[in-house]
Chain A
Amino acid sequence: NAGVMQNPRHLVRRRGQEARLRCSPMKGHSHVYWYRQLPEEGLKFMVYLQKENIIDESGMPKERFSAEFPKEGPSILRIQQVVRGDSAAYFCASSPLISNTEAFFGQGTRLTVV
């Protein structure tokens, strides 16, 4: 049973480009969460999605960031017109049920904006 798969593992973008980060949840999981880890910081919640629905995006920056979890395919976190401050590790987690005590994390995508 594969775990939560994120790709790419490392992504380098120039300022102003778009970054697309992908997350495939564990088999049977229909809830996806994105977290961001800035250098020397803890992870911070960004957004919670179910299939075709954004449930809670209270942690998402108001501009340039968007997320989706389509009926088919992985969840996508999109960052438009990236800036240096977007450089961070982005982690995705998934769980089968909201009441489950544990979400499983992927290995993260390390985004570097140059």
Chain B
Amino acid sequence: ELKVEQNPLFLSMQEGKNYTIYCNYSTTSDRLYWYRQDPGKSLESLFVLLSNGAVKQEGRLMASLDTKARLSTLHITAAVHDLSATYFCAVVVSGGSNYKLTFGKGTLLTVNP
């Protein structure tokens, strides 16, 4: 059974600081997603990572994937308050169905002024 672990689960940081959220998974994967969820809202897709070494950046967020280590990171640069949200990684098992995502528990990020 695929297991997806995120850490930290809670992250409180100051504006302007950098930090990284980690996502480990237990079996080989075809693709990995990062989502953002604001309280009471839907999940917003941030990144889809498809291959080893993939790196994608959008604004202050950068995601990378190391399939050999079964590890993805979401790096936050110079955090701002608007980034406060819960961030999930989700994985599709290699050879598995594209629709069956296995999610981590999420990282609740709070950016303080």
B31–A107 CB distance below 8 A: no
Q: How many A-B residue pairs have CB under 8 A?
A: 57
**Chain A at the B interface: mostly helix, strand, loop or mixed?**
loop
Interface residues on A, range: 20 to 34
Q: Chain A, 69-110, contact with B by CB distance < 8 Å: what is the 0/1 string?
A: 000000000000000000000010001001111111111100
Residues of A within 8 A of B88 (CB): 42-43
The contact of B4 among A42, A99, A108, by CB within 8 Å, is: A42
Q: A42-B105, A43-B88 given as contacts; is B99 within 8 A of A102 (CB)? A: no
Inter-chain CA distance A44–B40, complex, in Å, is: 18
* B residues whose Cβ falls under 8 Å from a Cβ of A: 4, 31, 35, 40-43, 45, 48, 50, 88, 90, 97-106
A residues apposed to B, CB below 8 Å: 3-4, 31, 33, 35, 40-45, 48, 56, 59, 91, 95, 98-108
